[in-house]
Amino acid sequence: MGCVCNKQRPQIFEDPSLLSSQTRFTAKEIKKLNELFRKLGSTLVDDGFLNREEFKLGLFQDSKQQSVVADRLFDMFDSKHDGVIDFGEFIRSLSIFHPDTPQEDKAVFAFHLYDIWQTGYIEKEEVKEMILELLKESSLILSDDIIEAIIDKTFEEVDTERDGKIDMEEWKEFAARKPSLLRNMTIPYLKDLSTAFPSFEMRSER
């Protein structure tokens, strides 16, 4: 049937030991993150799941925020593609942002994040869409000529096969050369959850 309404609450909180074996979190940290998840998941609809609006509310404090990045993140966290994020999906995806997660794993996640059209490649129009999104978030204004120049320079450096698109291997090589590219793939707070989790924030520092 696949309907969200058919989901049962026992599926929401998976065994912390199992999740710990699959992520960078200890069982104790997972229990603490469950508090955050339940808080976020009851913001608009108290059903034990995280919907798209609640996810955006956690990211931007605005459930109506139009954001390509937020929508792509939600779709990637929602690995079952059923329109909501359950606790297991939340923990497994959040683990990517842990400081101890290997850079290569972060690079793979980032590649899929930027592959907006999900073609297996990052193309120029996708890069442009991401740049425009970041400019909007930071309230910066750049001319179309400057944006096109940035895109051309990026592809000149990354697209080693010169086929007009960036594949996974090209992306991973580029990320290995420029670690700062993945800076927004790490949430320092996840290293120490001994204090109250301060916020659900995934955007890079500026």
pLDDT at residue 4, rounded to an integer: 47
pLDDT at residue 168, rounded to an integer: 98
Question: Three-state SS for 165?
Answer: strand
pLDDT at residue 61, rounded to an integer: 74
pTM of the model: 0.83
Which of 167, 144, 166 lies closest to 156 in space, CA to CA?
Answer: 166
- 122-123 and 165-166: which strand pairing? antiparallel
Which of 22, 192, 200, 181 lies closest to 104 in space, CA to CA?
Answer: 181
pLDDT at residue 123, rounded to an integer: 97
164 burial level (CB within 10 Å; 0-12, 13-18, 19+): exposed
What domains lie within the chain, and their CATH numbers? 15-97 (1.10.238.10), 103-184 (1.10.238.10)
pLDDT at residue 24, rounded to an integer: 96
Which of 193, 3, 9, 196 lies closest to 91 in space, CA to CA?
Answer: 193
Task: Name residues of the chain where pLDDT drops below 70.
Answer: 1-12, 63, 65, 194-206
Which of 58, 59, 49, 13 lies closest to 34 in space, CA to CA?
Answer: 13
Could you tell me if 37 and 87 are in contact, meaning their C-beta atoms sit under 8 angstroms apart? yes
pLDDT at residue 199, rounded to an integer: 53
pLDDT at residue 162, rounded to an integer: 96
